[in-house]
Amino acid sequence: MKYQFNWSVLWSGQSGQWLLSGLILTLELSVLAWLMAVVLGTVAGAFRTAPWKPLRAVATFYVEFFRNVPLLVWMFFWYFGVPPLLPRALQDWVFAHSLEFWAAVCALGVYSGARFSEVLRSGIQSIPRTLIEASVASGLTVAQAYRHVILPIALRLIIPPATSESLNLLKNSSVALTISVAELTFQTRQIETYTAKAIEALTAGTLVYLVLCVTIASIMGWVERRTAIPGLITGGRGESR
Amino acid sequence: MAAAIEFRGVNKWFGPLHVLQDVDLTVEAGEVVVVCGPSGSGKSTLIRCVNRLEVIQKGEIVVHGQSITGPRVHLSRLRAEVGMVFQSFNLFPHMTALENVMLAPVKVKGLPGAGAEKIARDLLERVRIPEQADHYPANLSGGQQQRVAIARALAMQPRIMLFDEPTSALDPEMINEVLEVMTDLAREGMTMMVVSHEMGFARRVAHRVVFMDGGQVVEVQPPEAFFAAPTSDRTKDFLSKILSH
């Protein structure tokens, strides 16, 4: 029997509403996890290059621990493993406030942060050591040198790989369906279940992810051009002065 | 004259390499000392010890009466008092010339932006490139970058300035513009330690010339005596090599 396409399943019934709520949840989850990943990744990436061993050790532990376990396992860990360890009051609160969502934010944020930290570390290590010397020689502390000189340069340098990491994070948010977060992929599966139209449902999901990713990549490209440091090779556009 | 920098029996090793060997040297306040010597003689390492970019293993260094080699040294305060200029300029590439000069006064001394900008513009005037204030380092020539670097070091109002081969990375036609600024500074009475092979500058501006070889201070002389009648054979050999052409 030939497959009968029926695209109207995407806008009849509740499909449209499901897709929209899935999209919103995917965005909420990704944005929160991204903020967490950037903060954790920046701190850990900076610590890994710090001239003080205990800081490097803490950061190395974080990175190796969290990036070397599958994301799926982290989802289960934060969803099933962590809540019983929490104090009673906090437990009641998370059970009443969509535990699965916050577990997914933590799993995705902490995991992506470990990956982001390595991207930042490679950016920092590409900066000549003499620039730190010049900073501290003018009286800045090492922390101030990182804050005002090293990180502003490194963060600009790593925009292309950080864009890839951000897109990965968005796409990885679909793993949250395994702990029943009703995000975009969860909703396309739901449409499929209700309408028995797998190709249509998955096509809709695919297109939404594609549009989101292309949009993010364009925004990051714009940020890259806006913040380019004169004299460095930027975006294949030659000198942008 | 009071001593600005005193090296007392200074020793330093990089692994098995004995890079500074029993260095004793006093630089008086307001004095200009040029340090020269062959590559690897320890001259850069010596001045990098003065602001603690390098740590020594034995001996003592005293800056304005305060030991800087003990365990309790206020590094930020020391470095605000001792400005440094590097061979490779090391300007902050993401900041304009003006911002490069303003950073330390604002972040370390906590000066308000307007006050720091006034100081920075005056300094750029002093190094003769006020018109480059809003340009990024990549858009400046080597000589201009090095003069911004000098202004940046002066912004903390240091009492001592260290120069680590400040003209070695420059094209010949830009060397003089940097040396002129350094000469001005010397005339104003700044205490300066200058690692350099610019013998013309040493002759005209230095009060004393230090010759180092193999981690040791071999000879310390006023420039006239240093060039006319060096006492050590190693100095004679070195001078014959760099002055022959």
pLDDT digits (tens, 9 = 90+) for B168-181: 999 999 999 999 99
- Domain membership of residue A9 (yes or no) is no
Number of domains comprising chain A: 1
Mean pLDDT within B209-227: 96
In the beta sheet, which residues pair with residue B3? B28
- Domain membership of residue A150 (yes or no) is yes
- Domain membership of residue A231 (yes or no) is no
- Domain membership of residue A37 (yes or no) is yes
* Cβ separation B156–A144 shorter than 8 A: no
Instruction: Write the secondary structure of chain B as one string of H (helix), E (strand) and C (coil).
Output: CCEEEEEEEEEEEECCEEEEEEEEEEEECCCEEEEECCCCCCHHHHHHHHCCCCCCCEEEEEECCEECCCCCCCHHHHHHHEEEECCCCCCCCCCCHHHHHHHHHHHCCCCCHHHHHHHHHHHHHHCCCHHHCCCCHHHCCHHHHHHHHHHHHHCCCCCEEEEECCCCCCCHHHHHHHHHHHHHHHHCCCEEEEECCCHHHHHHHCCEEEEEECCEEEEEECHHHHHHCCCCHHHHHHHHHHHCC
Mean pLDDT within B117-132: 96
- Domain membership of residue A99 (yes or no) is yes
User: In chain A, which residue's Cα lies nearest the Cα of B110?
Assistant: A140
Give the model confidence (pLDDT) of A33-46 as tens digits. 999 999 999 999 99
pTM for the whole structure: 0.90
A181 Cβ contact partners less than 8 Å away, ≥ 6 residues apart: A25, A29, A100, A101, A104
In chain B the domains, ranked by start, together with CATH numbers, are 3-243 (3.40.50.300)
- ipTM score of the complex? 0.91
Give the minimum alpha-carbon distance from A105 to chain B in angstroms, rounded to a whole number: 34
Asked which of A55-69, A82-96, B40-54, B82-96 is least confident by mean pLDDT, the reply is A82-96
User: Which residues of B lie inside 8 Å of A (Cβ-Cβ)?
Assistant: 51, 53, 75-77, 79-80, 83-84, 86, 88, 90-94, 103-104, 107-109, 136-139, 149, 152-153, 155-156
Among A139, A148, A152, the residue with its CB nearest the CB of B80 is: A139
Q: Is the pLDDT of residue A103 over 50?
A: yes
Among B104, B138, B153, the residue with its CB nearest the CB of A140 is: B104
Give the per-residue pLDDT at A234: 57
Give the model confidence (pLDDT) of A61-75 as tens digits. 999 999 999 999 999
- CATH number, domain with residue A46: 1.10.3720.10
Give the per-residue pLDDT at B245: 55
Give the minimum alpha-carbon distance from A132 to chain B in angstroms, rounded to a whole number: 9
Query: Which residue range(s) make up the domain with A69?
Result: 14-226
Q: What are the CB-based long-range contacts (under 8 Å, 24+) for B237-240?
A: B238/B36, B238/B37, B238/B38, B238/B211, B238/B213
* Cβ separation A133–B86 shorter than 8 A: yes
- Domain membership of residue A238 (yes or no) is no
Give the per-residue pLDDT at B107: 95
Angle CA(A15)–CA(A16)–CA(A17) in degrees, nearest 5?
90
- Domain membership of residue A240 (yes or no) is no
Structure tokens at B144: 């201009």
Of A123, A132, A104, A100, the C-alpha closest to A36 is A104
Give the minimum alpha-carbon distance from A225 to chain B in angstroms, rounded to a whole number: 13
State the best of A127, A138, A150 to mutate against chain B, taking most chain B CBs within 10 Å.
A138
User: In chain B, which residue's Cα lies nearest the Cα of A133?
Assistant: B53
Mean pLDDT within A221-241: 73
User: In chain B, which residue's Cα lies nearest the Cα of A134?
Assistant: B90
Give the per-residue pLDDT at B98: 98
User: In chain B, which residue's Cα lies nearest the Cα of A231?
Assistant: B138
User: In chain A, which residue's Cα lies nearest the Cα of B156?
Assistant: A138
Give the per-residue pLDDT at B224: 95
* Cβ separation B93–A140 shorter than 8 A: no
Question: Hey, is the C-beta of A144 within 8 angstroms of any chain B C-beta?
Answer: yes
Percent of chain A with pLDDT over 90: 83
Give the per-residue pLDDT at A1: 72
Q: Is the pLDDT of residue A25 over 60?
A: yes
